[in-house]
Amino acid sequence: MLKINDKQIKEYEKDLKTFASRAYPFASRSTINSAAFKAQGLARENVRNDMQTRDKFTVSSIRVEIARTLAVARQEAVVGSIAAYMEVQEFGGIKRSSGGKGVAIATGYAAGQEGDRPRTRLPRKANRMTNIALGKRRKQGSTRKQQNFIAIREAATSGRKYLYLDLGRRRGIFKVAGGKRKPKIKMVQDLTRTSVAIPRNPWLAPAVRETEKFIPGMYRDALKFQLQRNKLFK
């Protein structure tokens, strides 16, 4: 149940409960739902401003389940995302590898940024793991260095753009460029680590805190509307 300390609100609340008790739950429910939609809007704005999103789904995944009951004690609206990865963004977590190849981390080169600096843009579509196709590779050569050299030559000769390489300290998906005679490779997906800590990047909690500032005004307006509707207030 809403508990707000405001003299005018308390007066509206008292009048509505006294003269139109059936209307009071509508005011309470309206406030809760208005606050939920306000939090949804702010959360979506946080995602747009603070996250690198691939498409519109991440923003649209933030939904509201409105309060429907008129039983004041059970009125509740829920704001959240239907995308499981948004919970990890909110609270942080650990991403673990599957298939024995390590956790795929897109590099700066995958996003068109040179060097080993942390990536600040989304990877280009062709360099995303879901879009990379790796051909079958025959292991040739007695050492890792020889095997990698032969694999790069074969990829360049056959026209394959991507291949998996184990360089010892680093493993990952590399893009082959530079032609058949002098092929060059750039890592687009780093598969070195078997687990990666995902830091907290709250998008919902800040929205809820900001929404709290608007709730007294929302409640005041909802009470006033019900009083006017029931002709108890001009």
Predicted local distance difference test score (pLDDT) of residue 1:
45
Predicted local distance difference test score (pLDDT) of residue 19:
60
Predicted local distance difference test score (pLDDT) of residue 188:
93
Predicted local distance difference test score (pLDDT) of residue 233:
56
Predicted local distance difference test score (pLDDT) of residue 97:
82
Nearest to 190 by CA among 172, 165, 175: 172
Predicted local distance difference test score (pLDDT) of residue 79:
97
Are the CB atoms for 95 and 103 separated by under 8 Å? yes
The Cα–Cα gap between 209 and 164 comes to 46
Predicted local distance difference test score (pLDDT) of residue 162:
93
The Cα–Cα gap between 167 and 192 comes to 10
pTM score of the predicted model: 0.72
For 200, the token pair is 């907290």
Q: Residue ranges of the chain with pLDDT lower than 50?
A: 1-2
**SS3 of residue 86 by DSSP:** helix
